[in-house]
Chains A and B, each alone.
Chain A
Amino acid sequence: MKNEMEIIFDAVSDNESFARVAVAAFITHLNPTVEEMADIKTAVSEAVTNSIIHGYGNLQGCGRTGRACPPEQKEIHPGKVRISCRLENGILHIEIADTGRGIEDVEKAMEPLYTTRPDLERSGMGFAFMEAFMDDLEVESTPGEGTTVRMVKKIGIGEWIA
């Protein structure tokens, strides 16, 4: 059994909940456990948030909720985030990609507690969570071109047994 989906959306923080719920809905027919579902939603949320705030620099809600933009952000970056999912034999492959600024040092970025934006009260746990909650994590990034995060997780009992 194979099933694929792809969504592309604006890199704004309103879409964070949409993204994780969309991926969660895509896997429901596999009967995932509550825990597996929560793991996947958290991992997707982390990756998408990274793309939005670090990849494109679209910071928290500004411009839309009537709050003032931080001085370094004059306008919202029009970039998109692309999520593609593939389900094959009960294994979920997720690819979350942006065409933002990219990461200079991926290894450093993946260190727990390391963050380039302590001013935003980011915890620096994003990649650590993706790693902990998924079975496999791969990060590919080219500065100036963008970042692609690939994650794999085995779900529940595998093939649907009626």
Chain B
Amino acid sequence: MEQIRVGDFKVIDNCLMIRLPEEIDHHGAGLICENADKYLIRDEVQNVIFDFEKTRFMDSSGIGIIMGRYRKISCFGGRVYAIHLDRQIERIFQLSGLNKIVEVLES
């Protein structure tokens, strides 16, 4: 159960790939942040890719996760990417201005 909430993490070259869980809310956000930061420090990755393929729900806690990671890596020249956004998540990106700091990739 906890595994599903936390998402999957994989380091490929200098990228951290995070497959986000089905629902992203405040309840699971803390653990996603903690885990992501572990990889950021341990593997010294430069870029982060958020994969929303499985994600069907996200509230403003998701914005916090992404902005937080962006702050941590952008000062070292790292970039944040997002893939597989559905329409609702795309709207949330636009509303929050997240699409200005995150590069949304067409998949």
Contact = CB atoms under 8 A, between A and B. Distances in A.
B27 A129 contact: no
Contacts of B58: 42
A2 B83 CA distance: 42
A73 interface: no
Q: How large is the interface on B (under 10, 10 to 19, 20 to 34, 35 or more residues)?
A: 20 to 34
Nearest to B23: A17
Contact of A125 (B30, B68, B96): B96
A38 B61 CA distance: 15
B31 A61 contact: yes
Interface string A89-127: 000000000000000000000000000000011111110
B63 interface: yes
Given A35-B88, A61-B30, A123-B67, A129 B25 contact: no
A29 B46 CA distance: 48
Nearest to A124: B60
B74 to A, nearest CB: 15
A13 interface: yes
Interface in B25-63: 25-27, 29-31, 33, 57-61, 63
B106 interface: no
Contacts of B30: 60-61, 67, 120
Contacts of B63: 123, 125
* Interface size range on A against B: 20 to 34
B59 A129 contact: yes
Contact of B27 (A17, A35, A122): A17
A79 B59 CA distance: 23
Given A14-B27, A122-B61, 5 more contacts: A42-B58, A46-B59, A120-B30, A121-B68, A129-B60
25 contacts: A13-B25, A13-B26, A16-B26, A17-B27, A35-B87, A38-B57, A42-B57, A45-B25, A49-B61, A60-B30, A61-B30, A65-B31, A120-B64, A121-B33, A121-B64, A121-B68, A123-B61, A123-B63, A123-B96, A125-B60, A125-B63, A126-B59, A126-B60, A129-B60, A132-B95
Interface of A: 13-14, 16-17, 20, 34-35, 38, 41-42, 45-46, 49, 52-53, 60-61, 65, 67, 120-126, 128-129, 132
Interface of B: 2, 23, 25-27, 29-31, 33, 57-61, 63-65, 67-68, 87-88, 92, 95-96
